[in-house]
Amino acid sequence: MSILERLLLVVVLIVSIVVGVFILANVPSSSKFIAVDNNPIKKVINWDLPSGSSPLNDAISRLSMIPFSKRERKMVAVVIENHEDARPHHRGLDSALLIQEHMVEGFISRFVALYDLRTLPDLIGPVRSLRPYFIDSVIPLSSVFLHAGGSPDAILRVEGDPNLTSINGLYLDDRAKKDPEYFRLPGIPAPHDLFTGKETVGGMIPSDSSSFAWPPYKTGGARSASGASSVRINFFNQDHNVTFEFKRSSGDYKRVNGGTISPTKPRNIIILEMPIKGEGKYGRLDIDSFGEGAALFFRSGRIYNGKWKRKEDDTWFIFEDLDGEPMVFAQGQTWMMGVPSLGRVSWE
């Protein structure tokens, strides 16, 4: 193929993308939200809510995952509940660029979802409380945390550090206010009913918040490796066990958590061995996000053994294979999970 032919192909690709974004931007969106509970005994509830992400925002979000769009991004971290009663009401996870899954008291998990501020959805939640190791695992990707309360040491840190921004839903859940920054949805039992979104909370995010070059890891084609189309993480409880099933037609994974299908389509799954150092007051866990440990990386229906490293400075995690070479991620959403032992993980 000649240089001229290659240039023409690039021009055609760019024009196609622009036209596609224009078409999506002119598709009308509905402000009526319909929540369908996975429990067939419960009826369908209709809620009048702020409209969700616009077609244009969705298009931009997808464009942000293509190779030539890597640039500085203002990222926002939102703590999202993963109690079994909250899962049918998860909203906004599909728009996150990165989702971290952390162990919490009771040895269940909780999410920290990271979003590009430009494409922050108008409905995210249910929002829950912050932990210190959530902060450690996120910075320096984001300095802005949306959460609803937190452990005492987490609150002291996020509110006492001038480089961090805490937007605490427990201070902003004002039902008498016409447009509260955090709002409770009817038909969902507390405490699983607290939500937020760009339309209501976006104005509180500082315009001078820090930016980060995204993605924070190497991307490219999949290297040769053993096949692993099904991944299982054992939480020793059928209500909390997790499976990921690779969908070859789309190149992403279906996540099932205790029988509930997650509204996400990660293309990368990185599982880190992060031992629990101890338990504090009320069973809160002490987990160190610094140091190094073993890791399992899944993408494109393949498995890669490796390790993670993290220095106590302003750098984020480094993911390497057993030869010390950087793990190569697929473009798209990444699911990052910390577990006490990789012995909990099986695949086939």
Residue range 152-202, pLDDT digits in tens: 999 999 999 999 999 999 988 666 576 689 999 999 999 999 999 999 999
Mean residue pLDDT across the chain: 85
Q: What is the pLDDT of residue 93?
A: 98
The answer on pLDDT for 264 being more than 90 is yes
Q: Any idea which residue has 């452990």 for tokens?
A: 151
**Which pLDDT band holds residue 70 (cuts at 50, 70, 90)?**
low
The pLDDT value recorded for residue 61 is 44
Q: Is residue 78 pLDDT above 50, yes or no?
A: yes
* 64 has pLDDT over 90: no
Task: Spell out a b/e string for 207-241, using b for 16 or more CB atoms within 10 Å of the CB, else e.
Answer: eebbbbebbbbebeeeeebeebbebebebeeeebb
pLDDT value for 60: 45
Segment 109-150, tens digit of pLDDT? 999 999 999 999 999 999 999 999 999 999 999 999 999 999
Q: Would you give the distance in Å from CA 166 to the centre of its chain?
A: 18
Average pLDDT (335-341) is: 97
**Encoded tokens for 84:** 């079994």
State whether CATH 3.50.90.10 applies to domain 226-347. Answer: yes
What's the confidence (pLDDT) of residue 115?
A: 98
Which of the four pLDDT bands, split at 50, 70 and 90, describes residue 235?
very high
Pairing, β 71-80 against β 108-116:
antiparallel
Task: Kindly tell me if the per-residue pLDDT of 280 is higher than 70.
Answer: yes
The answer to pTM > 0.85 is: no
- Angle CA(162)–CA(165)–CA(153) in degrees, nearest 5? 80
Between 62 and 6, residue with greater pLDDT:
6
Quick check: 327 pLDDT over 60? Answer: yes
Quickly list DSSP for 127-150.
B--B-HHHHHHHTTS-SEEEES-B
The better pLDDT of the pair 102, 33 is held by 102
Q: What is the pLDDT of residue 25?
A: 46
Confidence of residue 221 (pLDDT cuts 50, 70, 90): very high
List 212's β-bridge partners, or say none: 73
Q: Tell me what pLDDT residue 36 has.
A: 32
pLDDT by residue (tens digit) across 2-14?
A: 555 555 566 556 7
Give tens-digit pLDDT for 13-50.
675 665 555 444 444 443 333 333 333 322 222 333 43
